[in-house]
Amino acid sequence: MRSNRPSLPCALAIGGLDPGGGAGVIADLRAFAAAGAFGCAAVALTTVQSTAGVRSVRHVAPRDVVSQAEEVLRSQRVRVVKIGALGNRQNVLAIARLLARHAGVPVVVDTPMRPTRGRPRLLAGDALAAIRRELLPRATVVTVNLREARALIGVEVRTVGEAHDAARLLSDTGARAVLVKGGHMAGPRAIDVLALEGEIIELGASRLDIGPTHGTGCTFASLIAGRLAALDSGRQGVGRDDLVVAIRWAKRVHHAALARAVDVGRGMRALVF
């Protein structure tokens, strides 16, 4: 007998655990809920951190990360996978193989490499080539800030024009859409550059003077992922309009959350919805 109970699409985050809740998979889950999706998470690395910064990072074994994710993918209505901090090359390769086995599920790839505060790396240097070669080609959307774009393409990105070039270069990896975020550029407006199927789209918003804020990049990517899941297009394939709608929606919601970032303790502020 068919159930009349309400159902929700799931969004699965694979990334790091931040005990302070400002970033990583805990922040991902808040963003998924704000977008209308049921949040799930597989932990690829654990950290000792808070809003004051990252103290240490410990990688989870690849087989354990994959086992967590496979169990959710097997049993739940996962409409999108969001990739965050993976820690090392072994985890990158394992997750790339996982995504290959679930090629029908859209993938949003965020690329955190270093924390806003703290010295430990969220991605080992020798994992960059694997990110470019194995992970980006499987991405429906890739989101990068200026520092991450430079690390991936080897070219400084400081202006909107250079962000156009970076987005095109990263699209050459096979990623369907690339969003180069302009939050660290100079000027009165923060302009993100989206490369999508050969087209360049600029997404602008007024620049906010809010001071250090935790988890902004992973939250933006997760808002996009959650909205794609809520559109429930995963089984039919994500259309171009779905992508643009999800990214524009995420930009608006993220900007509003930045404007009301809250103080939850010592150090950086956090985003709430």
What are the catalytic residues?
A: 181, 213, 215-218
Which secondary structure element, helix H or strand E, spans residue 96, and what is its range? helix 89-101
Which residues on neighbouring strands pair with residue 143, listed in sequence order?
A: 110, 179
Strands (E), 113-188: 141-144, 177-180
C-alpha distance from residue 115 to each of 92, 95, 121, 124, 179 (Å): 18, 21, 7, 13, 20
What residues contact residue 253 under an 8 Å CB cut-off, 6+ apart?
A: 34, 35, 223, 273
Closest CA to 49 of 78, 73, 26: 26
